[in-house]
Amino acid sequence: MANKKIVVGNMKMNLTAPEINKFLKVIEKKKYNNQVVFCPSSLYLPYFIGKGYDVGIQNIAAYENGAYTGEVSASQAKSMHLDYAIIGHSERREYFKETDEVVHQKISLALKENLKVILCIGETEEERDSLKTYKVLKKQVTNALKGFDSKELKKVTIAYEPIWAIGTGRVPSNDEIQDTISFIKEIVKGIASINISVLYGGSVNEKNITTLNQIESIDGYLVGGASTKAEKFMKIIEVVVNQ
Ligand code: 13P
């Protein structure tokens, strides 16, 4: 029986419209069975919607609606039939100064609209070196998820993305990932007594996916760079879906 792991492609601010069309032509050859989530740049979301794919937005506004030039609200995302919203990506936290409070507010708006949330957390290299990883993750998870009940939290998936592993080709060992994921699951059990799904993200590619996929507690992957290359992304999907 097929497993239920998911593969999420966070395409970030990559690809032009012609490149997206080429990408679509390659991926259209397969059915994805709700195990794959495409998160292209917001501009291209309509190309993916209504084709039987699960689709997510890379970010939503921290406000419900109104005069916020350039922003996209949770209700707008829902009204376009999107399935997921990625919230709290480290690039949003770093470059757009998103605090834990903003992340919490965005989760609250997404859940109100019944969007599934992919909450990103992760430590910097400096935090890792000074053995603060668990402390940092606990704070990020607690601040983001406090106050939500177990029914709401069932709509949340956590993506553990060590910041030092994003776009660097460096990946923690399977044992490290396993331990960290178990730790994150324990924190959420402490908050709401539920089994939360946890994805790994950070330099996942078509070469390391078979090794990563041996990690027992993992519920899927958040893929950046490799999700922008259709053939590479399909290889990753094949390994995960057919395990
Ligand atoms: P890379 O796969 O390019 O390291 O990016 C990971 C990421 O940030 C996904 O959200």
- Residue whose Cα lies nearest atom 9 of ligand 1: it is 224
Whole-number Å distance, alpha carbon 176 to ligand 1 midpoint, is 18
CB of 225 shorter than 6 A to ligand 1: yes
Residues annotated as catalytic (active site), given as ranges: 89, 161
Query: Which of 8, 37, 117, 204 to probe ligand 1 with, by most ligand atoms within 8 A of CB?
Result: 204
What is the tens place of the pLDDT at every residue in 168-204?
A: 999 999 999 999 999 999 999 999 999 999 999 999 9
The average pLDDT across 218-229 equals 98
What is the tens place of the pLDDT at every residue in 19-64?
A: 999 999 999 888 887 899 999 999 999 999 999 899 999 999 999 9
Query: Which of 161, 171, 209, 235 to probe ligand 1 with, by most ligand atoms within 8 A of CB?
Result: 161
CB of 201 shorter than 6 A to ligand 1: yes
The average pLDDT across 143-148 equals 96
Ligand 1: which atom is nearest the Cα of residue 165?
4
- Write down the pLDDT at residue 1: 42
CB of 10 shorter than 6 A to ligand 1: yes
Amino acid of residue 179: D
Ligand 1: which atom is nearest the Cα of residue 223?
2
Whole-number Å distance, alpha carbon 102 to ligand 1 midpoint, is 21
Average pLDDT, the chain: 96
Written as six digits, the tokens of 109 are 């708006």
- Write down the pLDDT at residue 10: 98
What is the tens place of the pLDDT at every residue in 116-136?
A: 999 999 999 999 999 999 999
Q: What percent of the chain has pLDDT over 70?
A: 99
CB of 202 shorter than 6 A to ligand 1: yes
Whole-number Å distance, alpha carbon 221 to ligand 1 midpoint, is 10
Is residue 2 predicted with pLDDT exceeding 70?
A: no
